[in-house]
């Protein structure tokens, strides 16, 4: 199991007023809290989204024994999101959550990739000829 140092674990709710210096402790990440999400959206110029990347960024901070401020978290989230390269299992899990990740999933994804490549080739040809 993942074990975090006591200093990064929160035993109470987030403060009522959130600032860029508010620290986020394990147990206080509130993706359904509109004020919390709005503050992160503001700190990322409208880019922030809750999800896997947000949880992984926080996990990395907490694993290192660091309780990030909202600003530190927002900056790390922006950087990680920009560097993120989707992995095949992510596509599978996304399809599965929509009820589509069953038999024939790999063949379906191959068809989608082929269509995407044809479209890209078509656009490259069009751009070269103009």
> What pLDDT does 12 receive?
86
Q: Is residue 1 part of a domain?
A: no
pLDDT tens per residue, range 112-122: 889 989 999 98
CA distance 66 to 59: 10
The answer to whether residues 57 and 75 touch, using CB atoms and an 8 Å cutoff, is: no
pLDDT tens per residue, range 67-118: 999 999 999 999 999 998 777 677 777 777 777 767 777 788 788 889 989 9
Regarding whether 75 and 93 lie in a shared domain, the answer is no
Q: Is residue 30 part of a domain?
A: yes
Q: Is residue 41 part of a domain?
A: yes
Regarding whether 79 and 92 lie in a shared domain, the answer is no
Regarding whether 32 and 70 lie in a shared domain, the answer is yes
> What pLDDT does 84 receive?
85
Regarding whether 103 and 68 lie in a shared domain, the answer is no
pLDDT tens per residue, range 19-52: 999 999 999 998 999 999 999 999 999 999 998 8
Q: Is residue 114 part of a domain?
A: yes
The answer to whether residues 2 and 63 touch, using CB atoms and an 8 Å cutoff, is: yes
> What pLDDT does 25 receive?
94
Q: Is residue 17 part of a domain?
A: yes
The answer to whether residues 22 and 15 touch, using CB atoms and an 8 Å cutoff, is: yes
Q: Is residue 107 part of a domain?
A: yes
> What pLDDT does 1 receive?
66
Domain of 119 in residue numbering reads as: 88-128
Regarding whether 32 and 53 lie in a shared domain, the answer is yes
> What pLDDT does 99 receive?
77
The token duo for 28 is 């206080």
> What pLDDT does 101 receive?
66
Regarding whether 25 and 75 lie in a shared domain, the answer is yes
Of 1, 8, 2, 48, give the one whose Cα is nearest residue 28: 8
Regarding whether 77 and 116 lie in a shared domain, the answer is no
Regarding whether 73 and 37 lie in a shared domain, the answer is yes
> What pLDDT does 93 receive?
74
Q: Is residue 16 part of a domain?
A: yes
CA distance 65 to 3: 10
């Amino acid at each position: 199991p993942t074990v975090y140092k006591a200093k990064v674990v929160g035993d109470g709710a987030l403060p009522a007023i959130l600032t860029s210096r508010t620290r986020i402790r394990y147990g206080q990440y509130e993706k359904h809290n509109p004020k919390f999400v709005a503050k992160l959206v503001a700190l990322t110029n409208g880019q922030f989204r809750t999800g896997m990347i947000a949880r992984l960024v926080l996990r990395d901070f907490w694993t290192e024994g660091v309780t990030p401020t909202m600003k530190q978290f927002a900056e790390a989230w922006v950087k990680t999101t920009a560097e993120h390269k989707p992995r095949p299992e992510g596509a599978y899990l996304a399809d599965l959550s929509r009820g589509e990740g069953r038999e024939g999933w790999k063949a379906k994804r191959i068809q989608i990739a082929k269509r995407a490549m044809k479209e890209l080739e078509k656009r490259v040809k069009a751009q070269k000829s103009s």
